[in-house]
């Protein structure tokens, strides 16, 4: 299993990134919480990874911290929760917020994450409640091109759609937070915060 990648950040277009490790490019998907901490293209990064092997593909997911990767692994063990929903949860909520929501059984707040319906939210709370008291935050691993949309606003909309929001909803969320000089990451972060309130 591939547990960590260290190399140059060759490209990034949420939720996908490309890491050049000794001349080999690894395509990964990452939650927005990891994207927020990525450096400029060409810089060296080190990310923790999770490899999923399917009959038709080998998929690599990258994370900026051990708690994020562990939560991803916990989430994909739950029936009805796949990698796409797990990434959406990690993109919309911090690890600490997720565990607080589970402890307090805030089903409605979980249903605001794209792809998480009431039954899935209830299942998450029931199956992960016992673990919610023992999980803590960890420190971020050092995070040292896929061609993306041309403007930060377009990039933010595309990222929100990739996380499961419908195009109209992604546009509404992104347009609500646009401001002069905001980066795509800043727009996405604020849009996700507003979406799960």
Indicate the residue among 35, 63, 91 that finishes a domain. 63
- Residues 92 and 123 occupy one common structural domain: yes
Indicate the residue among 45, 63, 81 that finishes a domain. 63
We report the CATH number of the domain holding residue 49 as 2.40.50.140
How many domains does one find in the chain? 3
In a domain, 139, yes or no: no
Model confidence over 13-60: pLDDT tens digits? 888 999 999 999 999 999 998 988 899 999 999 999 999 888 888 899
Model confidence over 97-141: pLDDT tens digits? 898 888 888 888 988 888 888 998 898 988 888 766 544 443 333
Q: What is the pLDDT of residue 69?
A: 92
pTM as predicted: 0.69
- For the cut 80, the answer to whether the pLDDT of residue 182 exceeds it is yes
In a domain, 137, yes or no: no
- Residues 57 and 18 occupy one common structural domain: yes
We report the CATH number of the domain holding residue 168 as 1.10.8.10
In a domain, 147, yes or no: no
What Cα–Cα distance (Å) separates residue 38 from each residue in 11, 49, 63, 69, 181? 11, 15, 11, 16, 18
Give the structural domain span for 16: 4-63
In a domain, 98, yes or no: yes
Indicate the residue among 104, 132, 160 that finishes a domain. 132
In a domain, 28, yes or no: yes
In a domain, 57, yes or no: yes
Q: What is the pLDDT of residue 180?
A: 67
3-state helix, strand, coil in the chain (%, to 5): 45, 20, 35
Long-range CB pairs of 189-194 (<8 Å, 24+ gap) are: 189/32, 189/36, 191/156, 191/160, 192/32, 192/91, 192/92, 192/160
């Amino acid at each position: 299993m591939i547990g960590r990648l260290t190399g140059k950040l060759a490209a990034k277009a949420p939720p996908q990134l490309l890491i050049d490790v000794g001349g080999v490019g690894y395509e990964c998907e990452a939650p927005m919480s990891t994207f927020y901490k990525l450096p400029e293209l060409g810089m060296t990064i080190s990310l923790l990874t999770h490899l999923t092997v399917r009959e038709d593909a080998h998929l690599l997911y990258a994370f900026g911290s051990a708690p994020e990767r562990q939560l991803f692994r916990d989430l994909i063990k739950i029936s009805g929760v796949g990698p796409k929903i797990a990434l959406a949860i990690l993109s919309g909520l911090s690890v600490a917020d997720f565990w607080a929501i589970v402890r307090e059984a805030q089903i409605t707040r979980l249903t605001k994450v794209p792809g998480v319906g009431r039954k899935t939210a209830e299942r998450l709370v029931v199956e992960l409640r016992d673990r919610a008291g023992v999980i803590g935050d960890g420190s971020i691993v050092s995070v040292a091109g896929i061609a993306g949309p041309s403007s930060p606003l377009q990039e933010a909309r595309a990222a929100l759609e990739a996380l499961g929001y419908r195009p109209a909803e992604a546009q509404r969320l992104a347009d609500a937070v646009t401001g002069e000089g905001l980066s795509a990451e800043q727009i996405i972060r604020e849009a996700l915060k507003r979406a799960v309130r």
